[in-house]
Amino acid sequence: EIVLTQSPGTLSLSPGERATLSCRASQSVSSSYLGWYQQKPGQAPRLLISDASTRATGIPDRFSGSGSGTDFTLTISRLEPEDFAVYYCQQYGSSPYTFGQGTKLEIK
């Protein structure tokens, strides 16, 4: 089983700042089958990034993903008020399709 470790657990930033979220895998994620999801309170997760760096339909270009192998990053270039939420990374290259424990992005 691939274990995904996200850091930091909580990130406190202000609107307009840049956010950098990390996801590290216990073993290489095949073909960069790594996704990032955003979840707001009371809502289902929403796909932001697939295949490590491909934005999903309708996702603003301030969201970007990078990385390969075992180290992946989600960057939000300039935070908007609606971006404060919990973010999960997930690998879908091999079963079981594991999630990281999440990073909470909160307003400073």
Partner 1 sequence: QVQLVQSGAEVKKPGASVKVSCKASGFIFTNYYFHWVRQAPGQGLEWMGIINPTGDRTTYAQKLQGRVTLTRDTSTSTVYMEVTSLRSDDTAIYYCARRDVRGSFDFWGQGTLVTVSS
Among 5, 66, 78, 97, binds partner 1 (CB under 8 A): 97
Binding mask 62-91 for partner 1 (x = CB under 8 A): --------------------------x-x-
Among 15, 71, 101, 107, binds partner 1 (CB under 8 A): 101
Least distance from partner 1 to the Cβ atom of residue 82, Å? 18
**46 touches 39 (CB < 8 A):** yes
DSSP string, 50-94: ETTTEEPTT--TTEEEEEETTEEEEEESS--GGG-SEEEEEE-SS
In which residue are the tokens 């990130």 written?
11
CA-CA distance, 84 to 87, in Å (whole number)?
9
Number of chain positions touching partner 1 (CB under 8 A): 22
Q: What burial class does residue 88 get, using C-beta atoms within 10 Å of its C-beta: 0-12 exposed, 13-18 middle, 19+ buried?
A: buried
Cβ nearer to partner 1, comparing 16 with 44: 44
Residues 1-60 within binding reach of partner 1 (CB under 8 A): 33, 35, 37, 44-47, 50-51, 56
Cβ nearer to partner 1, comparing 45 with 69: 45
